[in-house]
Amino acid sequence: MSVVRFSSGFFVNLDFLTEEFIAQALRFPHQAPYTEKEIRADHPLRLAGVLVPLIYQAGGWSLLYTRRADGVGHHKGQVSFPGGASDPGESAEQTALREANEEIGIRPADVRILGRLPQIVTISDYLVTPVVGVLPWPYAFRVYTPEVARVFTLPLDWLANRENFMKLVRSETGRHVIAYLPNDGEMLWGATAHMTIEFLKILKILQE
C-alpha cells in the first residue's frame, strides 16, 4: 500500500523544529484530560494508547495517519492515529507501539519515543494517551487491511494553518469539535483532530 503525502498549500519556516526541541516541549506539564463527553463515576473509562507518528520528509515534518476500514466495529472510515485499548498492565507507550505494529507493521524498535500529549476522554468511553514518536522515512509498512484502508501523511505547516480547520459545536452536547477541510478525500476531525491541535499548540506553531 502506498503512502500519500498531501501538499501544504503554503509555507511557514519550521526549521527550528528539531527532535530535541520537540522532546523538550513535550516534557512540560500538560493540562487535565480533554473530554468529549461527561465523565461519570458509575461509568469507568477504559485505557487506550495511540501512536502519533512524526516523520521527516521533503525537508519538513509531517504526521502520519490511517483511515480505518469500513468493516471495523467502531469509527469505520474515520481518520485516526494507530492505536487501541490497553491490555492489563500495559503502559500507554507499550499499547501504542503494539497497536501500531498490529495495524500497519511499524516495528517498536524503529520508533524513537519523544513524549506524550494531553489525554483525551472520547465519546466511546476511552481515556486515550497519545504518544509521540519519530519514525524513519521512507518506511515499509505492513498494513492489516481488515482494519486499515489507507496510510497517509499531512505536513505540520498545513495542519498549523488556521484556514484549514474550524471549530464546530455539537448541537446535542454543546461541546466543540475540530474539523479540518477535506484533503484528497480524507477528513480529519474529532478526537484525532483535537490531538493534532494539542500537539501544534505545544510546539507553539498553531496559527490562531
Architecture of the structural domain at 3-159: Alpha-Beta Complex (3.90)
Report the mean per-residue pLDDT for the chain.
88
Locate the DSSP E strands across 102-170.
112-116, 120-121, 126-134, 148-155, 165-169
C-alpha cell recorded at residue 140: 515499509
pLDDT in tens, 129-166: 999 999 999 999 999 999 999 999 999 999 999 999 99
pLDDT at 73: 61
Who wins on pLDDT, 12 or 146? 146
Q: What pLDDT digit, counting tens, does each position of 94-103 carry?
A: 999 999 999 9
| Band of residue 44 on the pLDDT scale cut at 50, 70, 90 | confident
Question: DSSP characters for 69-80?
Answer: -TTSSSSTT-EE
**Any idea which residue has 485499548 for its cell?**
85
Pick from 22-31, 46-55, 68-77 the range whose average pLDDT is largest. 46-55
pLDDT for 175 = 75
